[in-house]
Chain A
Amino acid sequence: MINSVRQSVLAIANKHQQGYITPADFNLYAKQAQLDIFEDYFYRYNQWIVRQNQRASGSGYADILKNLEEVIDNFSEEKDLENVGNKYTLPSDYYLINKLIVKTNLLASGTTTSTTAVTLVKTGATFVTDGVVVGDQVCVIDDSVLYVANITVITEDTIITDSTHQWNSNSSNLVFAIYKSNKFKESERLSHTKATMLNASNITAPNITFPAYTQSGNTVDVFPVTLTNVGQIKTQYIRKPKDPNWTYQIVAGDPLYNIGDPSHQDLEIPLTDEPLIISKILKYVGISIREADVYKSAQDSEIKEQQKQG
């Protein structure tokens, strides 16, 4: 998609030799335009909810809300979070935390006595007696990096996991925790205004059945404060779109599109938004090359496109 967008932008902007856009400039404009459209999805989503409640929205193919949900869900990710105590670090690319999941059924935890790339051993452990079975999840922290794996083989003191991990295969002191894979609760977001009172309340204080969290910058404080085990919290979040990167190689003095470049990054918005992103990029181009016609035309086109989409 990114190449077709660039070709369209170049074709329109440079029609009368009004300006050439370098790949670096294009990538900047594309990033800005994509973010703009991405943010707009959420506002449009809200507008369509209002319309739906006014019974001004259809179902089936006319279900615009569902369509927007699908677009937003393209950016949905899940990640187990690293922690210090009950403070968990959020992913750096998150745009919106949709939910925080607490693994409530801790089966075993401790420090390994030896490891290989797929095996964790704790001498004297009683994994089987503790109820650990194949399919349960083990979380391991090594050098401040969290690894999560599924258990494929289990004995009383040894766990074999499903794939090779990057944890230190010779380490004897990796902190781990094992959870029942299907036992979890959703944690509720609290505003800081309410958090203190809620924690002090006899009847609504967060507990393992109804956990909660507050957010400060890139970390969340999870309540009850006893939720401190390795990998105990997982988040499902909407990430920001990745920065688009139209990669190229110079052939005969001209940049030629190179999709095979490892740093290549396509646009992530759906194909149906191509006209909109072209208009937005052209608007930035119009400002850049001080060409009022380009800017005006792009703006008109963008308004029309937005009106069409509602």
Chain B
Amino acid sequence: MAYLTGYQYYENGGSGQEDANWGSYQYTTLEDIVNNFMLMYVGNDKLVNNVERYNVIFHAKRAIQELNYDAMKETKIVELTVCDNLRIVLPSDFVNWVRISLYKDGTLFPLTENIQTNYAKSYLQDNDCRVLFDEDGDILTGTSFLDGDRLDGLSKTPYLGSGRMKGNLGYNIDGKWVFDYSVGTRFGLNTETANVNPTFKIDKKSGVVNFDSQMADQTVVIEYVSDGMESGSDVSVSVNKMFEEYIYAYIKYAILSSKFNVQDYVIRRAQKAKSALLRNARIRISNIHPGRLLMNLRSQNKWLK
């Protein structure tokens, strides 16, 4: 990508979306990566030759995807309102979640993932418990009791308010807590799930997040990672410059290791270069610098009460 003038950077040259170029200097585009690789690493006198550009595109994209999953720390953030159906559809480029929070009274409350399930598909059955089908042979389904109870606020969750019932499992119905008799109930709090904040469970196949009944009409903020493919728009795909050299090394290794008649030591050398560059890039992107260390060290003498 060509270098920008100050006017192009700050004002987008006076036309189009003003913020289009803000922060763009941190990134290098997929197109640049592919062009540079074809220019500098592919040739008659290079280790990599006779390779089609689509091979390079494929490996470059795979490298960017892998980096997006963990190394790059570039999370996307979306804010949505949960309606009465207590669920939201996952963002279109969602790959995995980082944190899901309730936004209330100006504060983000991180939600805990419900380690049990809070949703199910219900197969319709007759009186003999035989599964029912339609005329096409497909199974008839309906709303499960699990979903129904959740929607009605009838799933048990730990009560973490004050008073005698603190820690007991109860039902939150329209903001009021109702408890079973305490006879024969489990003693003590399950600390693993003990959290006053609402819970959620992601139904990956259905592409939705299911929340408990406390989340009705609440605002949820989802932090998630994507694969960096920008919904298929190759022109928008970019990667932080800290990872540029790693991507070249990754492509080189991927091509050499899948090519016939390349000596093993050449492949190993490429592999080592790739791994070393990934480590370097991770350290760089972690931003471990004196200023930040100083911040951590300042808290070392803080008294814990």
Contacts and interface: CB of A to CB of B under 8 A. Distances in A.
Given A202-B232, A203-B61, A188 B54 contact: yes
Given A52-B44, A210-B234, A188 B61 contact: no
B53 interface: yes
B264 interface: no
Given A52-B44, A53-B45, A209 B54 contact: no
Contact of A204 (B31, B45, B57, B235): B57
A208 interface: yes
B179 interface: no
B52 interface: yes
Contacts of B232: 202, 207
Interface in A189-215: 190, 194, 198, 202-204, 207-210, 212
Given A202-B232, A208-B235, A209-B31, A49 B44 contact: yes
Given A202-B232, A203-B61, A204-B58, A210 B44 contact: no
A303 to B, nearest CB: 27
Contacts of B54: 188, 190, 194, 198, 204, 210, 212
Contacts of A208: 235
Nearest to A45: B44
Contacts of B45: 49, 52-53
Contacts of A210: 31, 34, 53-54, 57, 234
Contacts of B62: 203
A209 B235 contact: yes
Interface residues of A, number: 15
Contacts of A203: 57-58, 61-62, 229
A183 to B, nearest CB: 11
A204 to B, nearest CB: 5
A82 B261 CA distance: 42
A53 B44 CA distance: 8
Interface in B45-64: 45, 52-54, 57-58, 61-62
Give the secondary structure class of B's interface: helix
Contact of B234 (A190, A198, A209): A209
Counting chain B CB atoms within 10 Å of each CB, the highest count among A188, A204, A208, A212 belongs to A204
A198 B229 CA distance: 17
Interface string B61-80: 11000000000000000000
A207 B30 CA distance: 13
Interface string B273-298: 00000000000000000000000000
Contacts of B52: 188, 190, 194
Interface in B19-45: 30-31, 34, 44-45
Nearest to A205: B232
A188 B58 CA distance: 14
B20 to A, nearest CB: 16
A188 B38 CA distance: 12
B49 to A, nearest CB: 9
Interface in B182-239: 229, 232, 234-235
A27 B53 CA distance: 43
B250 to A, nearest CB: 15
A252 B65 CA distance: 81
B35 to A, nearest CB: 9
Contact of A188 (B30, B31, B53, B229): B53
B31 to A, nearest CB: 6
A255 to B, nearest CB: 46
A301 to B, nearest CB: 32
A245 B275 CA distance: 62
The residue in B54, B61, B235 that gathers the most chain A C-beta atoms within 10 A of its C-beta is B54
A64 to B, nearest CB: 14
Contacts of A52: 44-45
Nearest to A49: B44
A49 B45 CA distance: 8
Nearest to B234: A209
A172 B54 CA distance: 43
Contacts of A212: 54
Nearest to A65: B44
Nearest to A52: B45
> Residue among B31, B34, B234 with the most chain A CB within 10 A?
B234
Given A203-B61, A209-B31, 8 more contacts: A52-B44, A203-B229, A204-B54, A204-B61, A207-B232, A208-B235, A210-B34, A212-B54
8 contacts: A188-B52, A188-B53, A188-B54, A203-B58, A207-B232, A207-B234, A210-B34, A210-B234
